[in-house]
Chains A and B, each alone.
Chain A
Amino acid sequence: MSGKTVLINGKGIYERNKKLLKYFRNWQLWIMLIPALLYVIIFHYIPIYGIQLAFRDYKFNAGFTGGDWAGLKYFKQYFNSPMFWPTLRNTFVIASTSIVFGFPAPIFLALVINQIVNQRRKRILQTTVYLPYFISTVVLVSLINIFLSPSNGIVSELLMKLHLIDKNTNLLGEPKAFVPVYVISGIWQTCGWNSIIYLAALSSVDRQLYDASRIDGANRWQIVWHVEIPAILPTIIILLILNMGNILSVGFEKTFLMQNSLNKGVSEVISTYVFNVGVKSSQFSFGSAVGLFNTVVNFVFLVLANTIAKKTSDFSII
């Protein structure tokens, strides 16, 4: 459209110049695009091309796409290995528990923050609860280790005093405690940040709706239930569906850092397994196959989630 604006002026006399000009303008657009495009081609598409390694035997001198074709050998090796079910189960359990408990928390927090009338207090609370999002995973896991330490961790001592855990329970080594610790610390870190989107949705609620409900005699519970929750319901549904797409993706860093010899039975997820067998033990083909399996399952879940999102709410990400 904007290209035509130029044409109106010149009325076709400078047709050739205009073509040149247009070409030149496009050329500038390409220049601005090329660095980013080059980056994704080199660092994303070449590795995708390199996935064929999962179907070939890795040879040191045969380049990064591998040597002879091996068919599905490495996939079979993974499916038949004793680590297949544990890694799949652990990944699924950690991710789904995170969604079940981590998803409602920011909704509740946003509703609470939204009720605070005093602007200064509201700001202070918001600033505080957003903060953990910026703490690095290494520091987060150290905090977990400090507060859950069986010898003098504050949280351990508190739970022991409340008789919620036995004395001498080591929350860091106890396999049963791994998923709760992972999920609760995840909520601690991201709940505030994730509430921003709901707060934004809440702030767009028409003030007249509040006044009208007040006049109709609604109390504050009823306003939350009949005005505020309906206002954020579309956001809730969309985010819930999108979260479903992540059912088999667990952050590598946190799991890797929280892993120790005592909890490995429940903490070895697909991504940490890929790192351990692929990078550490240099089984490149096998590691690629396991990684590809994870990517494909995730991709399928995501496409499914996206299709559902599209059908139910005219919203999609792909």
Chain B
Amino acid sequence: MEKAKGKNSADFSEIIFSVVVILSSIIAFIVVAYPIYFILIASISDANLVHQGQVTLLPKKVNLYGYNQIFNDPRIWIGYRNTIFYTFAGTFLNLVVTLPAAYTLSRKDFKHRRIIMSIFVFTMFFNGGMIPTYLLVKNLGLVDTPWIMVIMGAVNVYNLIIVRTYFETSVPVELYEAAVLDGCSHFRHFFTIVLPLSKAVISVIFLYYMVGHWNDFFNGLLYINSDSLQPLQVVLRNILLANEAFKGGVASGAGSGMGSYAQRYADQVKFAVIIVSTLPVVCIYPFIQKYFEVGVMIGAIKG
């Protein structure tokens, strides 16, 4: 009797447990997925219906007005073009600079590795700050040039540590010793053995760097003045947050009459802009997702 009762309450607590887990998962899923989904359906629905709150689960009166407006607005395309260049050139530079340096710092036979590592690590905790850095860039004549957008952040010390740790722990030492006996140089060892064995970590920092460039707003805000050089995020900010007028409509805040009518259409353009600007990153991310755990774990072991 006693035992049966115990079993019943155990069953009951297991049921509550399952309910808590299932509810929490569903809530987490909806809270994250719904806003993104809403933007997606709102971007292709009739602006008036969206404004009246009638678009909740499925798009209504599907139209591509928002996307058409974007296609006709040169600012977005200039921003897009600039950011694609900054992202490609910047990420390329990141990898070219970070990977070899991480290799050198991973070599136990490199005498000065400790002191040089601390030179890098110190910059994670102490920096000159916004103004001295800005004045330096200004003195170098890099303000308002595309190059500052590529060069800035060429080495992220956190990423450098991740790669170095990966080289140290996941590339077998025996391979290096065998290579040395064969008279293999560091260059060859790095290119023919270390890099091919490190696809996981290269994918992870490639994603980190790429997303960093794509989403970079701060450097554009600080260093770029010309409209023709602005990265996408600064253009987005002008359209989405500063509420600058779009070519098709007058976005003049929540006014009345004509103004608020235009505002609704401006909103639809905003939804489309959000989708168009976020899509590239979202498309790449699932392919690299399987490596996330590797990257995060290495970063945590010796952060």
Q: Which residues of A contact B (CB under 8 A)?
A: 1-3, 5-6, 9, 24-26, 28-33, 35-37, 39-40, 42-51, 53, 63-64, 108-109, 112-113, 115-116, 121, 124-132, 134-139, 141-143, 145-147, 151-152, 154, 157, 188, 192, 196-197, 199-200, 217, 219-221, 235, 242, 252-253, 256-257, 271, 274-275, 278-279, 284, 287-288, 291-292, 294-295, 298-299, 302, 317-318
Contacts and interface: CB of A to CB of B under 8 A. Distances in A.
Nearest to B264: A152
Contacts of A130: 285, 289, 292
Contacts of A302: 125
A131 B36 contact: yes
Contacts of B236: 136, 138-139, 142
B233 A196 contact: no
A143 B222 contact: no
Contacts of B176: 2
Given A39-B154, A130-B292, A131-B282, A51 B180 contact: no
Interface in B11-33: 13-14, 17, 21, 24-25, 28-29, 31-33
Contacts of A42: 136
The 10 closest A-B pairs by CB, nearest first: A47-B128, A291-B129, A32-B100, A50-B132, A36-B101, A136-B215, A64-B135, A142-B240, A47-B132, A44-B123
Contacts of A219: 10, 13-14, 17
Given A134-B278, A143-B274, 11 more contacts: A2-B108, A32-B100, A116-B25, A125-B29, A128-B32, A188-B31, A196-B293, A257-B217, A274-B129, A288-B132, A291-B132
Nearest to B239: A142
A202 B139 CA distance: 50
B32 A64 contact: no
B193 interface: no
Chain B contact surface mostly: helix
Nearest to B242: A257
Contacts of B126: 48, 295, 299
Contacts of A143: 35, 39, 274
Contacts of B151: 39, 43
Contact of B32 (A37, A131, A275, A291): A131
Contacts, number: 269
A234 B101 CA distance: 31
Contacts of B39: 143, 146
Contact of B215 (A109, A121, A137, A141): A137
B154 to A, nearest CB: 5
Contacts of A125: 25, 28-29
B289 A128 contact: no
A196 B292 contact: yes
B101 A152 contact: no
Interface hub of B39, B103, B119, B135 (most chain A Cβ within 10 A)? B135
A48 B130 CA distance: 11
A252 B218 contact: yes
Contacts of B36: 131-132
Interface of B: 10, 13-14, 17, 21, 24-25, 28-29, 31-33, 35-36, 38-39, 51-53, 96-98, 100-101, 103-105, 107-111, 116, 119-121, 123, 125-136, 138-139, 151-152, 154-155, 157, 160, 173, 176-177, 180-181, 185-187, 190, 211, 214-215, 217-218, 221-222, 233, 236-237, 240-241, 254, 267, 270-271, 274, 277-278, 281-282, 285-286, 289, 292-293, 296-297, 300, 302-303
A40 B155 contact: yes
B119 A138 contact: no
B137 to A, nearest CB: 8
A126 B290 CA distance: 11
Given A200-B296, A235-B300, A279-B222, A35 B17 contact: no
A44 B233 contact: no
Given A143-B39, A318-B125, A33 B180 contact: no
B131 A279 contact: yes
Given A128-B32, A271-B130, A299-B125, A35 B274 contact: no
B109 A1 contact: yes
A138 B237 contact: yes
A220 B286 contact: no
Nearest to A121: B25
Contacts of A295: 126-127, 129
Contacts of B222: 275, 279
Contact of B296 (A46, A51, A197, A256): A197
B297 A128 contact: no
B217 A36 contact: no
A141 B238 CA distance: 12
A275 B130 contact: yes
Given A112-B25, A288-B131, A29 B32 contact: no
Contacts of A137: 215, 217, 233
B285 A279 contact: no
A193 to B, nearest CB: 8
B237 to A, nearest CB: 5
A37 B116 contact: yes
Contacts of A235: 300
B303 A142 contact: no
B132 to A, nearest CB: 3
5 contacts: A2-B109, A37-B119, A274-B130, A288-B129, A291-B130
